[in-house]
Amino acid sequence: MKRAASQGIHNLSTKLKKWINLSSLEVQLTLGLGTLFALSLGSVAFWTSWKMQRILIDSHKDNLFTVASQVTEDLTFYSEMLPMEKSLQKALDNRSSRNLLLWVEQDDKSIAATSPAIARPAWQRVGHPNELSSHFRRDEPFDLYQIRERQLVACHSPLVLTNQTLGTLFIAQDITQDQRRIDGNIQTLILATGLAMVLSLFAIAYFIRRSLLPLCQMQTMTQQISAEDLGETQVVLPKAPSEIQALANTFNMMLDRLSEAWTQQQRIGERQRQFVADASHELRTPLTIVRGYLQSTLRRSDNLLDYQREALEVAASEADHTILLLQDLLNLARADGGYLSYDLQILILNDIVADVVQVAGQSFERTILVEAKSSLIPIYADANRLQQILSHLVENALKYSDEAEPVHIKMEQINQKAVIHVCDRGPGIPPQHLSRIFDRFYRLDEARTRSMGGTGLGLSIVKVFAEGMGGQVTVSSELCKGSTFTVTLPISATSP
Ligand SMILES: Nc1ncnc2c1ncn2[C@@H]1O[C@H](COP(=O)(O)OP(=O)(O)OP(=O)(O)O)[C@@H](O)[C@H]1O
Ligand SMILES: [Mg+2]
């Protein structure tokens, strides 16, 4: 259960990683533009809410200072007709309203007058005037306060009448309602901004995807271009923006140049292949005749001196080698040109291996051990070419291992394939050479192998034949322990 869950999370994260590929231009542009847009929208929303708050406070500030000067004016007026205490109360009452609280505090902190009268709900919400004024900052004539979960703007100023200071006039306005309205507006603004950000992110992603679509089309088109149709293919994107069309035109020009170079290269390659094929063919015929004469002379002449016989034998053996070399070259040239034919049929692998082992065992006078998982392993191949493959591998195994060490051939059928391993206990092949030993004329450590003869074409022939018959050849080797060459071929025409 736990494993299934962690597997699910792993799959999801792999898919997400594939989808959000940070190195892709599309994701980078979307993220870049999205961030820029979010930052601009966010700053506008932030500035708007800050400005709304400022406007609210500034409008009340002006209002409170106007009320303060009006109270002084009223007090001056009433004091001419009424005693000071009554004038003060009247002046305050004149300016008080539902959310506007006024009071005068004397120097000894006693309250000279309040409006509206104390014990009204307006005072109950914020507390007694004495308690209230203790919250106010005396060095700030105007400020915003939060008292008992109410928002207040308040100002204070000395109350002076004909050069006599009567105390300090406090005016506080409860702006909780206004503040709530503004908070509501700010919340709506934040929501609208968030929504606008999400919508714009989608719009940006869609727009960028649409703009980059011609590039993807160009990629798909170019992926389908093969070396053969370089000349005929043109990347055409009629609806693409002009920059991408210019890129496509440049690409088409490059395709034309590549096509010309490729055709020229093909022609040169074809001429070289033709030359190698013709030369091998032309040389092989007279050389075969020479070898024939040499062999018949050796067979029929009884009166040859020893050194003459030896010279003729060397000449016949060299002619033999050269004919084999020419045959290999001819085969490789044909394979390169694509006209090396295979006579494919279902054969019994065990029989072919037995023939090869018999011939190789006789000429090398060495032990070759054969192990087969079944006595009838089918194989779908050209008998002649399969024999050549096995002869080359067995010959190498014998040539490059000590005479005392046996060579093993193991055969098995795995699924729909016949698998042949040729194993030796020779010096092995250093890892840095492993990838190159199938190259033409590649021989490692010339000094070591020169005495053994050979041209370095055997393994290239093995590879060409194995792949030509729908199979493959691989090698594994360990220094001082030996090498194993593995050939895999289909067992029938329909097997993969
Ligand atoms: N079984 C092996 N053990 C060690 N080295 C090997 C083995 N088989 C091949 N090699 C190395 O790979 C090189 C290429 O082998 P390849 O069969 O292509 O050429 P060759 O044997 O030198 O000549 P030829 O064309 O006569 O076969 C050899 O020269 C040898 O150095
Ligand atoms: Mg060889």
Give the start-to-end residue ranges of the domains of the chain. 55-182, 225-340, 345-490
- pLDDT top residue among 418 and 338: 418
Q: DSSP character for 145? A: E
* Percentage above 70 pLDDT, the chain: 95
Class of domain 55-182: alpha beta
Tell me the HSE value of 207 on the side-chain side, using a 13 A CA sphere.
Answer: 11
CA-proximal residue: ligand 1, atom 26 (nearest)? 454
pLDDT category at 21 given cuts 50, 70, 90 is: confident
The pLDDT of residue 195 is above 60? yes
What is the per-residue pLDDT across 211-264, written as a single tens digit (0 to 9) for each? 888 888 888 888 888 877 777 888 888 888 888 888 889 988 998 899 999 889
Q: Are 402 and 428 in contact (CB under 8 A)?
A: no
**pLDDT single digits (tens) 265-320:** 989 988 988 888 888 889 999 999 999 999 999 998 888 888 999 999 999 999 99
The conformational region for residue 365 under phi > 0 = left, psi -120 to 50 = alpha, else beta, is left
Q: Which of 31-35, 200-204, 441-445 shows the lowest per-residue confidence on average (mean pLDDT)?
A: 441-445
Q: Residues 394-451: pLDDT tens digits?
A: 999 999 999 889 999 999 999 899 999 999 999 999 999 999 999 998 988 655 555 5
How far apart are the CA of 430 and the centre of ligand 1, in A?
13
The whole-model pTM stands at 0.57
Residue predicted with more confidence, 9 or 47: 47
pLDDT reported for residue 15: 66
CA of 397 to the centre of ligand 2 (A): 9
Greatest Cα pair distance in the chain: 170
Length of the chain: 496
Residue whose CA is closest, atom 8 of ligand 1?
A: 396
Q: The domain at 225-340 falls in which architecture?
A: Orthogonal Bundle (1.10)
C-alpha 92 to ligand 2 mean position (Å): 119
Asked whether the predicted pLDDT for residue 339 surpasses 90, the reply is: no
Architecture of domain 345-490: 2-Layer Sandwich (3.30)
Place of tokens 């003459």: 308
DSSP per position, 402-470: -TTS-EEEEEEEETTEEEEEEE--SS---HHHHTTTTSTT--SSHHHHHTT---S-HHHHHHHHHHHTT
Q: Which residues fall within 8 angstroms of residue 420, CB to CB, at 6 or more apart?
A: 349, 353, 390, 409, 410, 411, 486, 487, 488, 489
Residue 19: the pLDDT is: 66
pLDDT of amino acid 239: 80
Cβ neighbors of 200 (< 8 A, separation 6 or more) are 34, 37, 41
Instruction: Please compute the mean of the pLDDT values over residues 113-135 and round it to a whole number.
Output: 82
Mean pLDDT, residues 57-77: 91
Give the integer Cα–Cα distance in Å for 270 and 217.
35
Task: Answer whether residue 17 shows pLDDT above 70.
Answer: no
| Residue 2 reports pLDDT greater than 70 | no
Ligand 1 first shell, C-beta below 6 A: 392, 396-397, 400, 424, 426, 429, 437, 442-444, 449, 454-459, 483
- Quote the ligand 1 centre to 443 CA distance (angstroms): 6
CA 202 – ligand 2 centroid, Å: 65
Query: What per-residue confidence (pLDDT) applies to 447?
Result: 55
Note the Cα 492 to chain centre separation in Å: 40
Ligand nearest to the CA of 445: 1
Q: State the chain's mean pLDDT as an integer.
A: 88
Overall average pLDDT of the 459-472 stretch:
95
* Residue of 328, 389, 396 to mutate, ligand 1, most atoms within 8 A of C-beta: 396
Q: Which residue has the tokens 């900052």?
A: 137
